[in-house]
Amino acid sequence: INRMRPGEAYLEHDEALMKEYEALHPTKSRMSKYMAKENFPLYKNNHIEYYSMGEEAFQAIFEELEKAENFILINFFIIAEGAIWDKLHHILLRKIQQGVEVKFLYDDFGAALRTDKKFRQELEKEGFEVQVFNPIHRYTGKLYMNYRSHQKILVIDGNVGFTGGFNIADEYANLVERFGKWKDNGIRLEGDAVWGLTVTFLQMWAVCSDDTINYDKYRPSKKFPPSNVYCHVISDGPANNPNNPIESIYKQMINLSKHYLYITTPYLVIEDGMKNALIETARSGVDVRIITPNIPDKKYVKMLTNYNYGALLENGVRIYEYTPGFIHAKTIINEHCGIIGTINMDYRSFYLHYENGVWMSNEEVIDVIKEDLLKTMAESREIIFI
């Protein structure tokens, strides 16, 4: 935890920008102020591309990696050997040979089952800088399931960043079928907010490494054109306990929605406070809709998800199950703003894992995401009663 602290000094807050945003968006600025208080600065001058499927995100990632000149930062929960890993590995090796620094961070639990035992040593031999989050050999029993890094962050030269629900495994790009069609989503972020992703990555790197990190070395290499796409990069984890800002940010998004609130989540295992917030919002006349998987990846979680349907349906929340298969995308949007990232609507995400996301405030960006969710609902089955 203490190793994360030095990174906080690099999260610069722009008071003039906060005032500008408040004047433009008095309602949304409440959330923005809260996030700034939790040390997630507000950024503008961003450009966001939204990917409605994992395969689209990977295509963009591969194209962007080819352009890397200085450094590449990668943090994923699951690494599985296969076609996606082979292509990624091939590009990264070439970049290392060209003198690009590659920092590769992954969660031990997420990689242990689907990579070779010598995975780390092989990468280090090839010139990768590697850190493994929370090695599982220290634990026995169920303890290793918690306190994982569930974050997904990729940063190229400090100028472009990616995040979303996808991991480095073939099912996320529908190259293999595990639970029917796999729907994930993600974003490509270019602009001032990439610095938030860079600092979040470096803080997690610092937790795993004894090195002193020179944060300034990873600053963006260019100035970004002005734009009114405002973002906060948010992150969370057990180091915050008992203060969990992401859960609170979700509740504020629910409570501040006036017209609609659309959510996608693979797991709907929520506490009473979250359930009540959704119910109150639906009872206030807001169009609240949640998309969950039809084909689950974890049977017992599906049972809990279904158990949570009852009270929500009775109080006007509309629930859709993604008929083609498994929806792994983590999304929450209302007419004001949205979050895309790694955050599931479950206890583990809010309390036990390290997560990250990007809060976005721009009508055009939100409209693109909304259109995708409406299309997804059209492919889904609406649950009428339990």
Instruction: Calculate mean pLDDT across residues 305-320.
Output: 91
Checking if the pLDDT of 1 tops 60, the result is no
Checking if the pLDDT of 263 tops 90, the result is yes
The per-residue pLDDT of the chain, averaged, comes to: 91
Instruction: Calculate mean pLDDT across residues 339-362.
Output: 91
Tens digits of per-residue pLDDT, 206-241?
Answer: 988 888 899 999 999 999 999 999 999 999 887 765
Query: What pLDDT is stored for residue 382 in this prediction?
Result: 97
Query: What pLDDT is stored for residue 109 in this prediction?
Result: 67
SS3 letters for the chain? CCCCHHHHCCCCCCHHHHHHHHHHCCCHHHHHHHHHHCCCCEECCEEEEEECCHHHHHHHHHHHHCCCCCEEEEEECCECCCHHHHHHHHHHHHHHHCCCEEEEEEEHHHHHCCCCCCHHHHHHHCCCEEEEECCHHHCCHHHHHCCCECCCEEEECCCEEEEECCCECHHHHCCCCCCEEEECCEEEEEECCHHHHHHHHHHHHHHHCCCCCCHHHHCCCCCCCCCCCEEEEEEECHHHCCCCHHHHHHHHHHHHCCCEEEEECCCEECCHHHHHHHHHHHHCCCEEEEEEECCCCCHHHHHHHHHHHHHHHHCCCEEEEECCEEECCCEEEECCCEEEECCCEEHHHHHHCEEEEEEEECHHHHHHHHHHHHHHHHHCEEECCC
Query: What pLDDT is stored for residue 297 in this prediction?
Result: 76
Are the beta carbons of 320 and 349 closer than 8 angstroms?
no
Query: Which has more pLDDT, 295 or 273?
Result: 273
Query: What pLDDT is stored for residue 245 in this prediction?
Result: 93
- From the number of C-beta atoms within 10 Å of its C-beta (0-12, 13-18, 19+), residue 97 rates as exposed
Instruction: Calculate mean pLDDT across residues 288-294.
Output: 95
Instruction: Calculate mean pLDDT across residues 51-73.
Output: 98
Query: What pLDDT is stored for residue 144 in this prediction?
Result: 44
Checking if the pLDDT of 97 tops 90, the result is yes
Checking if the pLDDT of 325 tops 70, the result is yes
Tens digits of per-residue pLDDT, 133-189?
Answer: 876 655 444 444 456 678 999 999 999 999 999 999 999 999 998 889 999 999 999
Query: What pLDDT is stored for residue 219 in this prediction?
Result: 98
Instruction: Calculate mean pLDDT across residues 309-316.
Output: 94
Query: What pLDDT is stored for residue 143 in this prediction?
Result: 45
Query: What pLDDT is stored for residue 18 in this prediction?
Result: 97
Query: What pLDDT is stored for residue 241 in this prediction?
Result: 58
Instruction: Calculate mean pLDDT across residues 321-341.
Output: 96
Query: Which has more pLDDT, 117 or 363?
Result: 363
Give the global pTM: 0.94
Checking if the pLDDT of 329 tops 80, the result is yes
CA gap 328, 170 in Å, rounded: 14
Query: What pLDDT is stored for residue 142 in this prediction?
Result: 45
